[in-house]
């Protein structure tokens, strides 16, 4: 009997360039894909997210068969579904002479633990191949981090630019600067011509998945319809092309802007596809660089886009694996307040939060400033529990996996790691949201008022957050100036801040 290798493909590894798939002998080896409850139910994922990933899996399975692979694909509703990858691997081991199980490195720690259980139970070698959906391996990031007191993304990003020769003029950055973030903070203005986002067709596979999710996961958060995500490699490339041609030129200027009724703005909407393997990072980066070289997009837009992928995406993944499993328990500010119900219902008088939660429910998407400076900013200054906030972000966004969600939430949003990832807490009052959006025009609260029942809660909660956490934050040089401002306030003003905050938070509970 011919000895075989079994290659396992997880639900976020949907690339024909998958490093484990590259080792498969199509004449002898087997491939296993399974719609596993281990993945589907780790958290109660947004219904649209489940439709997207299950449909993408099924379409990818078809592409594997078309490419000549011997595929065993287990659908969730198959009568012979055994409940887990492990049981299906055991079944295949009983039928075939399999000498090893091979898999590309899992992206999340829970998946990693799952594979380690296989190693103990199965009695055959489990070979893990480096994850080639990223441009910096886990080992390379560990080497970069070794001996550094602070792991600042900017310095990591510069080294990645040099290593891959992206937007470089010899040893120097194109344009003379590494970072054009200061040019990428324009507030929205009247008359913006925002192109419509990609809208894919619903085929028979996706219709079947929609029915499955409606039947099996109807108690999960979020709307399925309308469904418009790309679910194939070809469609994902179309999303990328549409962004490069229609949105990239304005992406830089307005990437921080928020407009009521415009959830997509000028963003790329490719994180869904990057994070499940339908797109690879270098092709996205090179497409943007080519647009700059052909004068189709300005440098500030292209550099900002490149920084998100080559810098931030690679950096947070490196931090995740460097700090796990302990990173999940970090709670530097000892925040314990339960997640308010409006994060699920959008039933709040604060229009900015209402808009962002509503759009999240509809689309399983919100852009990075909505996530950081509205939803996240409130979670930070209200002192919400990191466990509950992390779970919410993991559930509601279709691009969310723990490796990307946890560092962004615990590190960037909640400062729960005490400044390991971010150099300061990203807290702000109502004036920031008023400047960067038109949300405040339709709100019952006024960003111009600092105290009282008509004042924007962000205004007094911001100062109350600083006061509550003074022992933890006053030594931070980037926050020190705000404490000096607070200290110059009259005692009466400080008392009003505390009273307003206490009243609001009690009503919230």
Identify any residues that bridge with 8 across adjacent strands, giving them in sequence order: 32, 103
pLDDT of residue 44: 96
In the block, which residue shows the tokens 């691009």? Answer: 399
Asked if 436 and 369 touch (Cβ cutoff 8 Å), the reply is yes
pLDDT of residue 41: 86
Q: How is 84-100 classified by DSSP, letter by letter?
A: SHHHHHHHHHHHS-EEE
Which pLDDT tens digit goes with each residue over 128-149?
A: 999 999 999 999 999 999 998 8
Q: What are the tokens at 441?
A: 């025009």
The tally of CA atoms less than 13 A away on the side-chain side of residue 450 is 10
Rg of the chain (C-alpha set): 24
Which domains, from first to last, does the chain contain? 4-129 (3.40.50.620), 138-311 (1.25.40.80), 342-508 (1.10.579.10)
pLDDT of residue 294: 97
> 242 by DSSP, 3-state: which?
helix
**Nearest in space to 233 (alpha carbons), one of 30, 10, 55:** 55
Spatial distance between the Cα atoms of 24 and 9, rounded to a whole number of angstroms: 12
H-helix or E-strand spanning residue 101: strand 98-104
In the block, which residue shows the tokens 């004068």? Answer: 295
pLDDT of residue 404: 98
pLDDT of residue 367: 97
Identify any residues that bridge with 33 across adjacent strands, giving them in sequence order: 73
Ranges of residues in the chain with a pLDDT under 50 are none
Q: What are the tokens at 182?
A: 């200061």
Please state whether the peptide bond connecting residue 113 to the residue before it is cis, i.e. omega within 30 degrees of 0.
no
DSSP 8-state code for residue 429: -
Entry pTM: 0.96
pLDDT of residue 1: 59
Q: What are the tokens at 303?
A: 């550099």
Q: Where are the alpha helices (DSSP H) in 37-98?
A: 37-40, 47-66, 85-95
Cα 405–Cα 370–Cα 352 angle in degrees, nearest 5? 135
Dihedral of CA atoms 265, 372, 159, 177 in degrees, nearest 10, equals 60
Question: Where would I find the beta strands (DSSP E) of 368-440?
Answer: none
């Amino acid at each position: 009997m011919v000895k075989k290798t079994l290659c396992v493909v997880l639900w976020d590894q949907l690339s024909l360039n998958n490093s484990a798939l590259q080792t498969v002998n199509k004449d002898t080896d087997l491939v296993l894909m399974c719609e596993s409850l281990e993945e589907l139910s780790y958290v109660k994922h947004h219904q649209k997210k489940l439709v997207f990933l299950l449909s993408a899996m099924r379409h990818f399975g078809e592409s594997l068969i078309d490419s000549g692979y011997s595929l065993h694909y287990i659908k969730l509703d198959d009568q012979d579904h055994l409940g887990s990858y492990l049981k299906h691997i055991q079944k295949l081991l009983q039928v075939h002479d399999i000498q090893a199980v091979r898999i590309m490195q899992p992206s999340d720690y829970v998946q990693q633990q799952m594979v380690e259980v296989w190693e103990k139970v199965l009695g055959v070698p489990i070979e893990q191949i480096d994850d080639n959906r990223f441009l910096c391996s886990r080992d390379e990031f560990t080497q970069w981090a070794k001996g550094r007191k602070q792991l600042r993304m900017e310095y990591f990003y510069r080294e990645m630019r040099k290593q891959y020769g992206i937007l470089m003029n010899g040893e120097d950055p194109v344009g003379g600067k590494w970072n054009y973030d200061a040019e990428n903070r324009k507030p929205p203005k009247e008359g913006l011509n925002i192109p419509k986002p990609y809208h894919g067709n619903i085929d028979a596979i996706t219709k079947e998945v929609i029915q499955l999710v409606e039947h099996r996961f109807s108690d999960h958060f979020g709307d399925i319809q309308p469904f418009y995500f790309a679910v194939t490699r070809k469609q994902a490339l179309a999303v990328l092309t549409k962004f490069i041609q229609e949105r990239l030129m304005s992406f830089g200027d307005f990437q921080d802007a928020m407009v009521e009724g415009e959830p997509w703005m000028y963003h790329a909407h490719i994180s869904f596809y990057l994070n499940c393997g339908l797109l690879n990072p270098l092709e996205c980066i090179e497409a943007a660089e080519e647009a700059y070289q052909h004068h189709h997009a300005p440098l500030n837009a292209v550099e900002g886009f490149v920084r998100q992928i080559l810098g931030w995406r690679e950096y947070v993944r490196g931090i995740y694996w460097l700090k796990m499993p302990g990173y999940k328990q970090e709670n530097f500010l000892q925040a314990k307040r339960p997640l308010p119900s409006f994060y699920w219902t959008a039933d709040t008088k604060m229009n900015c939060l209402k808009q962002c939660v509503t759009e999240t429910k509809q689309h399983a998407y919100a852009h990075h400033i909505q996530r950081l400076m509205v939803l996240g900013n409130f979670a930070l200054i209200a002192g919400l529990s990191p466990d509950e906030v992390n779970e919410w972000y993991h559930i509601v966004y279709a691009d969310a996996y723990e490796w990307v969600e946890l560092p962004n939430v615990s590190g960037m949003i909640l400062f729960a790691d005490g400044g390991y990832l971010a150099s300061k807490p990203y807290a702000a009052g109502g004036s920031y949201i008023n400047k960067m959006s038109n949300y405040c025009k339709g709100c019952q609260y006024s960003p111009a008022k600092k105290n009282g029942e008509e004042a924007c809660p962000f205004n007094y909660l911001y100062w109350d957050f600083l006061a509550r956490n003074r022992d933890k934050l006053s030594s931070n040089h980037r926050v020190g100036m705000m404490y000096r401002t607070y200290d110059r306030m009259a005692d009466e003003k400080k008392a009003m801040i505390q009273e307003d905050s206490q009243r609001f938070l009690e009503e919230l509970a």
